[in-house]
Amino acid sequence: MTVVKQQTQTLLEKDRQNVWHHLSSYSETNPPMIVAEGEGAWIKDHNGNRYLDGMSGLWAVNVGYGREELAKVAYDQMKKLSFAPLIHSHEPAIELAVKLNEMLGDDYMIFYSNSGSDANEVAFKIARQYHQQNGEPSRFKFISRYRGYHGSSMGSLSATGQALRKYKYEPLSAGFLHVAPPDNYRKPEGQSIEDYNIQLAQEFEQKIIWEHKETIAGIIMEPLITGGGILIPHPIYLEKVQEICNRHNVLLIIDEVICGFGRTGKAFGHQHFNLKPDIVTMAKGLTSAYLPLSVTAVRKDIYEKFNTGEENSHFRHLNTFGGNPAACAVALKNIEIMERENLFERASTLGERLQKELAELKDHPFVGDVRGFGFLLGIELVENKETKKPASNARAVKIMSECKANGLIIGKNGDTVEGYGNILTLSPPLSCTDEDLDFIIAVLKKVFKENEE
């Protein structure tokens, strides 16, 4: 055994004895990959094997690995000011807030946290307090969609529409309701996409009415459902949801944790549609995961309701690490890189070519659908094309494993809804080269060709 392999074995034993891995089954026989370094779209494990990271870590490393200027700006900021709670303020937080408002193209107040879960928790608290102070204290419920994901803390998990993420943790927070997702692949035969999406949007209004409209505080949704299976609505769906929110005085919360920062080909996913969110949450691509940071952006007219002059009318929420100076400085530099390298436009170009090249997979006996939006792709595996019966978890895992054996890491919608862990996902760095994309396409075609029976 080589020295490197001996070192790897030692690390794996330490890992087995000490580290509890995310979303992983207890296993003595299936050790994790120890990631040692990354550059561009590629990572390298402790044994020196290279893999193209087709999931950007967790939908997050938008500008790719190894950006020295992001490390340098964090180092410089930590030397100058390592920490200041946002009871006070600091220059990186101020400048980042200005930049985010520029990108949003509207007038928001920026509240900083650490993660997407945190950002959504903040959104729920703000929405409830806003309605209290706007003369409608009965509004406390939120509507989201089955198969959607909004976080793993108790409130954000309550909004999540994935039963397996909630199983054995319930009861969760009260006041969270769900409607059906826009799964266009499974729309009824003979119904147009537009009519199907209008019908699904109207479920929000039915839920509002049946629950008594004076109890509904907000609707939370991603522009498209990402981790639940890359479910992409028709534009009319989102426009109808906006109309429903306006009609019933319900706040529209758009979760841009994955779709934001170029992933869809624009700064934010909702900018592809006729939407004017009341609250926008963001994380992941905000710093390209170089440091933890998230944002809850709140329209100014909502913010102003927190200045009633009454006792306890201010927002009584504190986050120790939210808006850390180094994280804000990294976010600013990360956005600068994206703009300098035209990565939003690049995401559209890469995504269009990926979808075009992989469209042929629809002819594969176990592929029901191939769908994408920007540089996001979902490949839905089925056991039977006629019935659209979802493929087994084993079939999806086999494809993933063989992609990894060929040097490509892809994902799937695991631990979401029982029987529907059948959708393979890709969300590569926006900085991928043409050669990187060639590699992704070649590996996927090869692996699917080898799995036709």
**Selection from 9, 320, 281, 298 nearest residue 151 by Cα:** 281
- In the numeric block, the tokens 């087995």 are attached to 16
Residues 271 and 273: their CA atoms lie apart, in Å, by: 5
**Selection from 31, 15, 36, 10 nearest residue 2 by Cα:** 10
| Lowest-confidence segment of 59-63, 132-136, 306-310, 384-388 by average pLDDT | 306-310
Confirm if 297 and 109 have CB atoms less than 8 A apart: yes
CATH code of the domain occupying 33-63+342-449:
3.90.1150.10
**Residues 26-46: what's their mean pLDDT?**
91
**Residues 436-452: what's their mean pLDDT?**
97
* Confidence check: pLDDT of 26 > 80: no
Render pLDDT for 71-85 as a digit per residue (tens, 0 to 9): 999 999 999 999 999
Residue 100 corresponds to which tokens in the numbers above? 């985010």
Per cent of the chain over pLDDT 70 is: 100
- For residue 366, the cross-strand partners are none
- What pLDDT band is residue 27 in, cutting at 50, 70 and 90? confident
How many CB atoms lie under 10 A from the CB of residue 440?
Answer: 23
**pLDDT of the residue at 110:** 98
Residues 119 and 156: their CA atoms lie apart, in Å, by: 9
Residue 400 corresponds to which tokens in the numbers above? 């993933």
**pLDDT of the residue at 259:** 98
* Confidence check: pLDDT of 7 > 80: yes
Render pLDDT for 11-25 as a digit per residue (tens, 0 to 9): 999 999 999 999 888
**pLDDT of the residue at 414:** 86
C-alpha dihedral sign at 14, 20, 23, 24: positive
Q: Kindly state the helix (H) or strand (E) to which residue 116 belongs, with its residue range.
A: helix 116-133
**Selection from 28, 30, 55 nearest residue 411 by Cα:** 55
**Residues 84-97: what's their mean pLDDT?**
97
- For residue 409, the cross-strand partners are 53
Confirm if 268 and 103 have CB atoms less than 8 A apart: yes
- In the numeric block, the tokens 């590569």 are attached to 428
**pLDDT of the residue at 1:** 66
Residues 453 and 363: their CA atoms lie apart, in Å, by: 13
- What pLDDT band is residue 166 in, cutting at 50, 70 and 90? very high
Q: Kindly state the helix (H) or strand (E) to which residue 45 belongs, with its residue range.
A: strand 42-45
Residue type, 54: G
Residue 82 corresponds to which tokens in the numbers above? 């390592």
- For residue 143, the cross-strand partners are 177, 219
Residue type, 93: A
pTM of the model: 0.97
* Confidence check: pLDDT of 311 > 70: yes
Residues 142 and 226: their CA atoms lie apart, in Å, by: 20
N residues, the chain: 453
Give start and end residues of each alpha helix (H) in 341-449: 343-358, 393-405, 434-449
* Confidence check: pLDDT of 326 > 90: yes
126: helix, strand or coil:
helix
Confirm if 205 and 213 have CB atoms less than 8 A apart: no
Render pLDDT for 410-434 as a digit per residue (tens, 0 to 9): 999 988 999 999 999 999 999 999 9
HEC-encoded secondary structure of 178-220: EECCCCHHHCCCCCCHHHHHHHHHHHHHHHHHHCCHHHEEEEE
Residues 353 and 357: their CA atoms lie apart, in Å, by: 6
Residues 111 and 296: their CA atoms lie apart, in Å, by: 5
CA-to-CA separations, 197 to 86, 180, 203, 267, 291, in angstroms, rounded: 42, 11, 10, 25, 38
| 23 vs 100: which has the higher pLDDT | 100
CATH fold match for the domains 33-63+342-449 and 68-340: no
Residue type, 252: L
Name which CATH class applies to 68-340. alpha beta
Residues 394 and 341: their CA atoms lie apart, in Å, by: 40
Domain boundaries, the chain: 33-63+342-449, 68-340
Mean pLDDT across the chain, nearest whole number? 96
